[in-house]
């Protein structure tokens, strides 16, 4: 199975740019905060990047994700082997992009 390349910092910024910083969220702040974290995590953005761009700690981000996994029905976690296509909002990876060596 091919290794999925890490998103670049610019890709992370582009994904999270429409999202306000936690301290600036107004109505329904907590719900919006959780949805933001879960959407970014489902898009395979690393927890450290999510924490940095939402202005919270990695532990708080992990806690939100763990709570979502606890709510998942049955034995399957809420986020199991999610395809990376969601990061590009339904688009496939560009074919010209090379896979970086680890």
Percent helix, strand, coil in the chain, to 5, is 50, 0, 50
Residue 17 reports pLDDT greater than 80: no
- 16 and 6 Cβ atoms separated by less than 8 Å: no
Rg of the chain taking only CA atoms, in angstroms: 14
**Cα dist from 49 to 1, 4, 45, 70, 81, whole Å:** 25, 16, 7, 23, 19
pLDDT tens digit sequence for 40-93: 888 888 888 888 888 888 898 898 888 887 776 555 555 555 544 444 445 555
pLDDT tens digit sequence for 20-54: 555 555 555 677 788 888 888 888 888 888 888 88
Q: Which residue has the higher pLDDT, 15 or 94?
A: 15
């Amino acid at each position: 199975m091919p290794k999925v390349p890490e998103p670049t910092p610019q890709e992370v910024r582009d994904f999270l740019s429409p999202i306000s910083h936690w301290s600036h969220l107004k109505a329904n702040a907590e719900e919006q905060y959780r949805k933001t974290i879960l959407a970014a995590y489902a898009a395979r953005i690393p927890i450290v990047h999510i924490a940095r761009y939402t202005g919270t700690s990695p532990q708080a981000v992990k806690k939100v994700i763990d709570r979502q996994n606890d709510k998942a029905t049955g034995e399957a976690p809420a986020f199991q082997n999610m395809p990376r296509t969601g990061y590009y909002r339904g688009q496939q990876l560009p074919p010209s992009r090379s896979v970086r060596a680890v």
